[in-house]
């Protein structure tokens, strides 16, 4: 990864990003298979740098970009979800041709911050995604019934969904019911009842759901996913999350995803750290295994 060349372009020719976006060959969001395989790398913009048990794994930008370029080169990978800085680098590297490009929209809820649930839209705006010719946006929606910051995020998310629908741009909504531990740490409730409630809330946001997709975690009891997904008719992709631990634990996660992908509303996977930082270090094999689940 030639970081020096990326920096040189940013210093002497910042217009190169817009130029690369303008000439990027595009593709439909979903192909003939009706499935999506997206690699996620928007975690650093929220200060979440850990992966695979290493607290600062994603802080090595050259390493992250190398892993992303490799993942995007594998057959069956449809595209990438990332913040503007990462997508700009990938544009300059020519890695986004014929790929689905999904911009991450709200990164203001920094990991561990007291204001984490007042999750401001500090990333891509709908007009940015339209201007750059990107294919979709993604927003994170964490709801804590005890935290007023959730209400501000909820309202802003609804207006963002409206703005995306007006541009006929798909938006992937990642909802959670969250709560704070006694020590103040934010936890997402992955019980079947909580995930069901979060899907119902997210599905009803905005003046139109025509362009809304859901980004859904697998519940703590995977056997209840079929019942959970009956909550909505919106298309959904599974959230992969960070599967830290042994190769066997990662294999178990794959089997859980495989079962959920049989459900009629589940149309694909959005997975980041589990594929980019697998337990055995083999990014290509991890990506190929995930693609095989589809």
Which domain, by its residues, includes 43? 3-293
Query: Which residue would you say has higher pLDDT here, 218 or 250?
Result: 218
> Which pLDDT band, with edges at 50, 70 and 90, does 255 fall under?
confident
CA–CA dist 22, 92 (Å, integer): 12
Q: What is the mean pLDDT of residues 287-294?
A: 94
Kindly state the average pLDDT of the residues 236-246.
75
Give the mean pLDDT of 120-146: 97
CB 216 within 8 A of CB 256: no
Range 118-145 average pLDDT:
97
Which pLDDT band holds residue 113 (cuts at 50, 70, 90)? very high
Give the CATH number, domain containing residue 13: 3.20.20.70
- pTM beyond 0.85: yes
| pLDDT one-digit tens code per residue, 39-83 | 999 999 999 999 878 899 999 999 999 999 999 999 999 999 999
Helices (H) and strands (E) in the chain, counts: 11, 9
What pLDDT, in 10s, does the model give residues 256-275?
Answer: 899 999 999 999 999 999 99
Over the stretch 223-232, which tens digit does the pLDDT of each residue have?
Answer: 899 999 999 9
Into how many domains does the chain fold? 1
| pLDDT for 60 | 95
Q: Which ranges constitute the DSSP H helices of the chain? A: 3-12, 16-23, 61-73, 84-92, 126-132, 149-166, 192-203, 225-228, 247-260, 273-276, 283-293
pLDDT higher than threshold 70 for residue 246: no
Least confident of 141-145, 208-212, 238-242, 269-273: 238-242
CA angle in degrees (0–180, nearest 5) for 65-77-82: 45
For all residues of the chain together, what is the average pLDDT?
94
- 201: nearest Cα among 191, 218, 214, 210: 214
């Amino acid at each position: 990864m030639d970081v020096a060349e990326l920096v040189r372009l940013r210093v002497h020719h910042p217009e190169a990003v817009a130029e690369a976006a303008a000439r990027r060959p595009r593709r439909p969001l979903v192909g003939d298979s009706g499935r999506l395989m997206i690699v996620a790398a928007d975690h650093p913009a929220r200060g979440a740098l850990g992966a695979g048990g290493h607290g600062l794994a994603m802080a090595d930008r050259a390493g992250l970009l190398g892993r992303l370029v490799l993942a995007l080169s594998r057959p069956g990978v449809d595209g990438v979800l990332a913040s503007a800085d990462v997508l700009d680098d990938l544009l300059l590297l020519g890695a986004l041709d014929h790929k689905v490009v999904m911009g991450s929209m709200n990164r203001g809820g920094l990991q561990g911050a007291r204001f984490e649930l007042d999750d401001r839209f500090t990333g891509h705006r709908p007009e940015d995604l339209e201007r750059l010719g990107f294919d979709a946006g993604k927003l994170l929606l964490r709801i804590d019934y005890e935290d007023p910051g959730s209400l501000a995020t909820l309202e802003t998310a609804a207006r963002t969904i409206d703005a995306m629908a007006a541009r006929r741009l798909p938006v992937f909504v990642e909802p959670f019911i969250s709560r704070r531990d006694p020590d103040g740490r934010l936890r997402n409730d992955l019980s079947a009842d909580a995930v069901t409630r979060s899907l119902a809330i997210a599905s009803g946001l905005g003046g139109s759901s025509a362009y809304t997709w859901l980004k859904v975690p697998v519940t703590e009891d995977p056997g209840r996913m079929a019942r959970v997904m009956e909550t909505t008719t919106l298309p959904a992709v599974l959230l992969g999350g960070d599967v830290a631990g042994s190769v066997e634990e990662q294999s178990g996660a794959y089997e859980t995803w495989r079962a959920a992908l049989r459900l009629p509303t589940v149309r694909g996977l959005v997975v980041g750290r589990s594929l980019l930082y697998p337990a055995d270090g083999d990014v290509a094999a991890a990506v190929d295994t995930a693609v095989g689940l589809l």
